[in-house]
Amino acid sequence: MGKYLIPKTIAAKTVASAGTAEAIVASPVRAASILIQADVDNTGNMYLGDSTVDDSNGIEVAPGQVIEWTGDQARGIEQQIDMSQIYVDADNDGEGIRILVLVPSSAGI
């Protein structure tokens, strides 16, 4: 029986100043998988990447769009995502994302 993923945290991140990369969380949070949705009320795109992310090098996320990042599960090795290493930028000040963190359950299925 394998483990399954359950929701742990739902968070929100608002970009204060467009053109400036901001960490999506302040301190390390490890996750097996994360879902990130650009707020449906955004008027511009969001950009995800490393600490240098901007509109020229980030993963573009349109308003309402959802993306999923999953840790590598190859060969039985559970590699988790360190969310403090993911940064976000925005086309406009005050726009944001919502984040759902998924972690392995302790029970098998």
Total structural domains in the chain? 1
For 42-55, what is the mean pLDDT?
97
Whether 77 is covered by a domain: the verdict is yes
Instruction: Report how far apart the first and last C-alpha atoms of the chain are (Å, whole number).
Output: 5
21-38 core/surface letters (b: 16 or more CB in 10 A; e: else) = bbebbeeebebbbbbbbb
Range of the domain at 95: 3-104
Q: Domain containing 86 — which CATH number?
A: 2.60.120
What is the predicted pLDDT for the residue at 56? 97
User: pLDDT tens across 4-39, in order?
Assistant: 778 887 889 999 999 999 999 988 888 888 999 999
Whether 29 is covered by a domain: the verdict is yes
User: pLDDT tens across 54-105, in order?
Assistant: 999 999 999 999 999 887 655 555 677 888 999 999 999 999 999 998 877 7
Whether 109 is covered by a domain: the verdict is no
User: pLDDT tens across 91-107, in order?
Assistant: 999 999 999 988 777 64
